[in-house]
Amino acid sequence: MTSLSRRNSDAPKPFSETPEMQLLRDTVRRIAAKYGHAYYQEESKNDGRSQALWNELSEHGFLGVNIPEEHGGAGLGISELAAVSEEVAAQGCPLLLMLVSPAICATIITRHGTNEQRDEFLPRLAAGAKMAFAITEPNAGSNSHNIETTATLDGSGYRLSGTKYYISGVGESEHVLVVTKSGGGSQTGRAELSLFIVDTNAPGLEKHRIPMEISAPEKQFTLHFDDVRVPGARLVGQAGRGLKQVFVGLQPERILGASISIGIGRYALDKACVYARERAVWGKPIGTHQGVAHPLAVAKIELELAKLMNEKAAWLYDQKLDAAEASNMAKYAAAEAGLQALDCAIQTHGGNGLASEYGLADLWGMARLLRTAPVSREMILNYVAQHSLGLPRSY
């Protein structure tokens, strides 16, 4: 029978990683483990930027794994970038800017940038330069068709005016990829958007840090654009066609978001299991009690399921197949699984779970953020209800 003979053949094993991917994960794990969560905590508290870790990852080419070889990257895919991000997070160092700089910005520039933009920016990103991404606005929120930041043609360039908020890592980025509006809107249901690469120190661009309850090296900013002049050469892709270009970056964004959640979950679960094996309060390790062991087992199952879906999403994306549904589902599942694993690890540690020394509770803000951003749980459920289940759109 064909199915029996297949078992003994050399057919690829779809659920096992290649030796190359395992090596990549091992190498990243070793690098990130040298820093570890204590380093991340210190950087987060003291306005550090995890720069030493970021630099070491970029020196080994890990921040440019998805960037084409001719532009200084490794020419691999989002699968490899997600693996790097997950392994770093699994050592207690979730790097939010991996989701922004190499995942969103490098992907959009690779696909839609001019040759000059690719030559100028991709080698820099591969070498570890950071680029922020600005789409969110106070008056538009999840409805990007409603954004109000305008780009007005002015001679050979443009003038940008408007406000963006919750823009991560602007303080440590040389450039920010800004989404502006040139027409359309909520009446038509489709905005005409245009994307620009803007210098973060451009005259007329003001940055204000937003106080946050998230302990992370990347800080958030409100950006005010007051007639910021941008050369025409900084327009990415065609004016007014930015919606399509933004969509190119959304699937990598969701996949990378999922990888960070899975990494945080793995980190928390590892710590919880070590603790549950060692801590004894009734004469035996607390992990003996099913009240402690079962939630950890559930967390393990949920994390593995999310990881599987995320690997599927990344594989589809790298094969240039439609990864929209899978990346949304992976992002949803991973955010929930990561939070659940962290909560469970905190509970397993009793009072120690809330102490800085145990390196768990400070990750709550980051893990919780990933339920809301880069796309909220509700917007994912809207997507699945509408596109996967064929239910009517409610908004």
Ligand X SMILES: Cc1cc2nc3c(=O)[nH]c(=O)nc-3n(C[C@H](O)[C@H](O)[C@H](O)COP(=O)(O)OP(=O)(O)OC[C@H]3O[C@@H](n4cnc5c(N)ncnc54)[C@H](O)[C@@H]3O)c2cc1C
Which residues in this chain contact ligand X in the complex, by CB under 6 A? Answer: 100, 132-136, 141-142, 166-168, 214, 220, 369, 372-376, 378-379, 382, 395
Find out whether 166 and 210 touch, Cβ atoms under 8 Å: yes
Least spacing, CB of residue 170 vs ligand X, in Å: 8
CA distance 36 to 13: 33
Smallest distance from ligand X to CB 10, Å: 45
State the first-to-last Cα distance of the chain, in angstroms, to the nearest integer.
52
Return the number of the residue (122 or 178) whose C-beta is nearest ligand X. 178
Instruction: Tell me, rounded to whole angstroms, the distance of Cα 276 from its chain centroid.
Output: 30
Virtual torsion, Cα 230, 234, 240, 242, nearest 10 deg: -120
Q: Is 80 exposed, middle or buried (0-12, 13-18, 19+ CB in 10 A)?
A: buried
The residue among 379 and 384 lying less far from ligand X, judged by its C-beta, is 379
Residue matched to tokens 């759109």: 393
Q: Which residue is nearest to ligand X (CB)?
A: 141
Minimal distance, residue 203 CB to ligand X, in Å: 22
CB nearer to ligand X: give 303 or 380.
Answer: 380
Pairing of strands 175-185, 205-210: unpaired
Nearer to ligand X, 49 or 279 (CB): 49
Shorter beta-carbon distance to ligand X: residue 112 or 130: 130
Residue number, 136 or 310, with CB nearest to ligand X: 136
Q: Exposed, middle or buried: residue 293 (CB in 10 Å: 0-12, 13-18, 19+)?
A: middle
**Residue number, 197 or 369, with CB nearest to ligand X:** 369
Using the minimum distance from each CB to ligand X, give the nearer residue, 167 or 316.
167
Closest distance of CB 135 from ligand X, Å = 4
Coil, strand or helix at 173: coil
CB atoms within 10 A of CB 270: 15
Residues 6+ apart with CB under 8 A from 376: 142
CB of 100 to ligand X, least distance (A): 5
Please tell me what DSSP assigns to residue 285.
Answer: B
**Two structure tokens written together for 82:** 């997600």
For the bound state, the minimum distance from the C-beta of residue 15 to ligand X, rounded and expressed in Å, comes to 32
What pairs with residue 126 in β-bridges?
Answer: none
Nearer to ligand X by C-beta: 18 or 372? 372
Please confirm whether the linkage preceding 374 is cis (ω < 30° from 0).
yes
Compute the least distance from the CB of residue 366 to ligand X, in Å: 8
Q: What residues does 180 pair with on adjacent strands?
A: 194
CB-based contacts of 153, cutoff 8 Å, min separation 6: none
Q: Is 169 or 287 the residue whose CB approaches ligand X more closely? A: 169
Least Cβ distance, residue 369 to ligand X (angstroms): 5
> H helices of the chain, where?
2-7, 19-45, 51-59, 78-90, 96-98, 106-112, 115-126, 242-278, 290-318, 324-348, 364-372, 377-383
Least distance in angstroms from the C-beta of 169 to ligand X = 7
Q: Which SS3 state, helix, strand or coil, does residue 128 take? A: coil
Q: How far is the CB of 373 from ligand X (least distance, A)?
A: 4
